[in-house]
Amino acid sequence: MQELFLNIVPNVAGKLPDFYKAIRDTLVMTFWSGSISFLLGLILGVIITVTRPKGILENKAVFQVLDKVINFFRSIPFIILLTGVMPISRLIMGTAIGVKGAIVPLIFGTVPFFARQIESALAEVDHGLVEAALSMGLSPLEIIFRVYLRESIAGIARSTTITAISLLGLTAMAGAVGAGGLGDFAIRYGHDRNQTDVTYITVLVLVLMVSVVQIIGNQVVKKSTH
């Protein structure tokens, strides 16, 4: 088995420590940037929903500002965003390169996308339920947690799955500017040194990661759909 592996992917076999480190770096970037993006995106998505016209906390100024800011960052290609927020990365993380340096731009690239996904998920909540909650005297905070979020669990799970898969792709793209991870591994060896087996194995690992995320997401959606 080992001999077969050496014959099929000789370049990967000769760089197993670097390959394992690349997988670990990708998982670290995805976990930390994904966790922070989930929290920030969920908060922004809720705020946009409740402050929009005819929302339970209608506030035109807040809605317009957040709406424009989210649209602004969503319109910036991620490869440009990577270099554009380097000063912020240095300020927050102390570096603009490597795994630590990639987390900040990954958050900037993911939060606006996820906030829009959350906004769409919350928009699917039956407005009649919100009106019923208001007539029962529930506070805005209670409506957010007991109506909007509770009734949108399946939609939020679906949105989280889509965002996590997108984030995996962004971590690979971050490798183009030395962020580490599988993207950096594929570029440094597969592209720059024309070692095609490195490229194919990297793609295969990313496909497997995406498949695992999709399976988990589908199970959560299935169990939370009612």
pLDDT band at 1 (very low <50, low <70, confident <90, very high): very low
Predicted local distance difference test score (pLDDT) of residue 8: 72
What's the predicted TM-score (pTM) here? 0.90
Residue 125: DSSP 8-state: S
Range in 12-26, 38-52, 59-73, 139-153 the model is least confident about: 12-26
pLDDT of 165 over the 90 cut:
yes
Q: List alpha helices for 175-225, DSSP H.
A: 181-185, 196-224
* CB within 8 Å of 128: residues ≥ 6 apart: none
Q: What pLDDT band is residue 122 in, cutting at 50, 70 and 90? A: very high
Q: Residue 226: what pLDDT?
A: 58
Structure tokens that stand for 33 in this block: 């940037």
pLDDT tens digits for 166-191?
A: 999 899 888 777 778 888 888 888 87
For residue 5, what pLDDT is reported? 56
| pLDDT confidence of residue 4 | 54
Structure tokens at 179: 């962020």
Cα–Cα distance for residue pair 226/92, rounded to 1 Å: 42
Cα end-to-end distance, the chain, whole Å = 47
The Cα–Cα gap between 47 and 69 comes to 13
> Which residue bears the tokens 């399976």?
215
Predicted local distance difference test score (pLDDT) of residue 7: 63
Looking up tokens 């000063």 gives 87
Confidence of residue 70 (pLDDT cuts 50, 70, 90): very high
Q: Is the pLDDT of residue 196 over 90?
A: no
**Which CA distances in Å does 35 have to 30, 133, 163?**
8, 30, 11
Per-residue pLDDT at 23: 92
How far is it, in rounded angstroms, from Cα 54 to Cα 74? 25
Higher pLDDT pick, 199 / 225: 199
- Determine how many CB atoms are found less than 10 A away from the CB of residue 81: 17
For 9, 35, 193, the CA distances from 112, given in Å and listed in that order, are 39, 14, 36
Q: What is the CA radius of gyration of the chain?
A: 21
